[in-house]
Amino acid sequence: MTSRTCLSIILAAGEGTRMKSAKPKVLHEIACLPMVAHVAAAAKKAGGGDVALVVGYGADEVRKAAARLNPAPEIFVQEQRLGTGHAVLAARTAIARGDDDLLVMFGDTPLIEAEPLLAARQKLAEGAAVAVVGFRPADPAGYGRLIEKDGKLVAIREVKDASEAEKKIGFCNGGLMAISGKHALALLDAVGNRNANSEYYLTDIVEIAHARGLNVVAIEASAESVLGINNRAELAQAEAIWQRRRRHAAMLSGVTLIAPETVFFSHDTEIGQDTLVEPNVWFGPGVKIASGATIHAFSHIEGATIATGAQVGPFARLRPGADLHEKAKVGNFCEVKKATVEKGAKVNHLTYIGDARVGAGANIGAGTITCNYDGFGKHFTDIGAGAFVGSNSSLIAPVTLGDGAYIASGSVITDDVEADALAFGRTRQKTIPGKGKELRERFAAAAAAKKK
């Protein structure tokens, strides 16, 4: 099919009132990616990389979302909501360019995969004028029925217009359709609105094509792949399905998930084989993990790169720009943002490292923070290889610690420290005998006086 051109028409004009949201329905996310972008990605994998996006409410935001995993789509605005057939014709000028195949898709079916789309296009290559993607739900109530005769699809009947006999059919319309480009406009222009809703149904082209002696076929997809999202409950259902698929794929690729149902991936998570992921870990967008890493329980990772043999957590947070090199360690209750932790370096406990470099083999003590923000701008902290930073230290950026520098615990470091130097950033301890007892007696007396 590489020689056949294909236009994907994605219908994304609905406001989605049942989502109870101020933003367009198709912008709600599955695996940290808007639903419409999932659909556009599937279209691209099926060879339909040229996208005509039919939008209404929130047009610019929808266009930007669809472009995240596909070239920038061509935008068509559906001014009135007069049915799916009317929506497709909003892209008339794109259809008129004469692509061999048209894929008609919906922006709220984020679980669609390339396989049924490719199968539908193959039917067009074999001579069909229309190929409809159907499915067999456990409960067909509410779905349009696919009516077949002698192995051919002769009609799609919307449930409001179906007879009692037709309602007993279990093969239902999945909404996705492939149409031969040379017949598309003629079929779409023939669609009328004589039905219970007075709308122009895209599905009517099946009956029109059959009446004209054209070949119309149906292919079957899983119910999951054509799941449409109308409310938040269905959004959560789709998220669960997507995550289940992704966890299964990760484990088959050689990743160990101790409690798979508690691990959540983003749409673009990359994770190498022999990586171990403990329970209750969340991966946001932009995470790349090499082979053999260990992600301990209750870690939150986004926009980070983790090299072979590195360890994260438990209870760690890696924010965008975190870059852990080979065998680096970021331990419990630590946060790293826009910082490089080089080979073998350790950031073990209760620590914040932001806008910084931690050199190879360096050790960062518990409670250390890089003070990178002055209220107006961010500043860089450079910690050399083999440096030792004692517990409860504050490094006031911009500041540089040379290779092998040693920072005494409890220090506030405001000036650069040269290589192999020892730095104290604290006053010397003073002990006054008996003063503790005196203070306790004074405070106790003051508290007693308040109660009188």
Whether the bond between 314 and the residue before it is cis, its omega within 30 degrees of 0, is yes
Sign of CA dihedral 66, 237, 42, 107: negative
| SS3 state of residue 93 | helix
Catalytic residue numbers, as ranges: 349
- Cα–Cα distance for residue pair 341/331, rounded to 1 Å: 12
Q: Spell out a b/e string for 195-225, using b for 16 or more CB atoms within 10 Å of the CB, else e.
A: beeebbbbbbbbbbbbeeebbbbbbebeebb
With a CB cutoff of 8 Å and minimum separation 6, the contacts of 352 are 334, 335, 336, 337, 368, 369, 370
Q: Are 191 and 199 in contact (CB under 8 A)?
A: no
With a CB cutoff of 8 Å and minimum separation 6, the contacts of 372 are 354, 355, 356, 378, 379, 380, 381, 397
Q: Phi and psi (nearest 5°) for 4?
A: -95, 130
What stretches of 342-443 adopt beta strand conformation (E)?
Answer: 346-349, 352-358, 363-364, 369-371, 381-383, 388-389, 394-396, 399-401, 406-407, 412-413, 422-423
- Cα–Cα distance for residue pair 212/208, rounded to 1 Å: 6
Write down the residue that tokens 């149904």 correspond to. 201
